[in-house]
A = this chain, B = another copy of it.
Amino acid sequence: MGRRSEHSRPELREMIVAEGHRQISEVGFAHFSAREVAKRIGYSIGTIYNVFGSYDQLIMAINGRTLDLWLDYLESRLHGITEDRLRVAIDAYFEFAVVHRHAWTALYDFRLADDQPTPEFYQAKVTEITEVIVRELTAVLPSRHAAQARPLARSLLATVHGHCFFTLNGTFRLLGEIDPLAAARERVNDALARYR
């Protein structure tokens, strides 16, 4: 077969990312296969390389989709909430990671080579999620500490990430921690106490 053009380029991109995301959510990054994605959407492996150029860019696109879903979930969870918004944000962090286990883990399983810069579109998505926390922190911090919102957001993201990661990779189970979410909330509260 040759040129079919049953689907436009953007349509094809979307099909590949959607199917890729479905795949990676199902089998995880370790067993993800670009060929399998091609097969599932009825195209050949060559087409994926035409559209994305490389395996790495395909993964970045799929992980980008995960970040989109994550941000959407975070904002939807916060929508209409008036109290304890930071706590809700932490809960949402965990909830998303647990529900989208494999997709979330893939965000950290995959790393570009050291000489390859993170694509701007991807950076932007990470920044967007961070900015949600900056915003929520700003609302909660005494105004004299407003300048601390951004650095604190980075540090608290890392803190919650660590707890979430140890939950999903089994470290916490191994160590006997049965309520990691509560521990994460405590650490965040401890940090906030510093700026009272």
Count the copies: 2
A169 within 8 A of partner (CB): yes
In the complex, the answer to whether A111 meets B169 with C-beta atoms within 8 Å is yes
Cβ of A192 to closest chain B Cβ, rounded Å: 9
Partner of A193, one of B127, B183, B194: B194
A118 within 8 A of partner (CB): yes
A146 within 8 A of partner (CB): no
Instruction: Decide yes or no: A187 and B155 within 8 Å by CB, A126-B171, A161-B162 being known contacts.
Output: yes
Counting chain B CB atoms within 10 Å of each CB, which of A111, A150, A159 scores highest?
A159
A72 within 8 A of partner (CB): no
In the complex, the answer to whether B109 meets A174 with C-beta atoms within 8 Å is no
* Interchain CA distance A10-B193 in the complex, whole Å: 53
A42 within 8 A of partner (CB): no
A130 within 8 A of partner (CB): yes
